[in-house]
């Protein structure tokens, strides 16, 4: 998802802001780690245009 965003970002609507945070954390009581990604977004337009945007730029989200 994040890697795809790098390629889509230059052509995205300027009213859509997306912040991605990466965290590493231990899995249970082991010494193994995993990566967790947290997406936070802000859209300055109308809801109906946001759904169209997400459907076009991020089809893997399946918002429709």
Q: Where are the domains of the chain?
A: 2-61
Residues 6 or more apart whose Cβ sits within 8 Å of residue 55: 61, 63, 64
Mean of pLDDT values over 31-52:
89
pLDDT tens-digit map of 2-26: 555 556 667 778 898 888 898 999 9
Structure confidence at residue 17 (pLDDT): 86
Q: Answer left, alpha or beta for residue 4, where phi above 0 means left and psi between -120 and 50 means alpha.
A: alpha
How much is the pTM? 0.59
Question: E strands, 1-64, where?
Answer: 16-26, 33-43
Mean of pLDDT values over 25-41:
89
């Amino acid at each position: 998802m994040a890697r795809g965003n790098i390629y889509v970002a230059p052509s995205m609507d300027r009213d859509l802001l997306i912040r991605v945070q990466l965290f590493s954390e231990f899995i249970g009581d082991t010494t193994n780690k995993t990566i967790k990604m947290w997406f936070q977004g802000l859209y300055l337009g109308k809801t109906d245009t946001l759904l169209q945007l997400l459907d076009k730029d991020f089809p893997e989200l399946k918002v429709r």
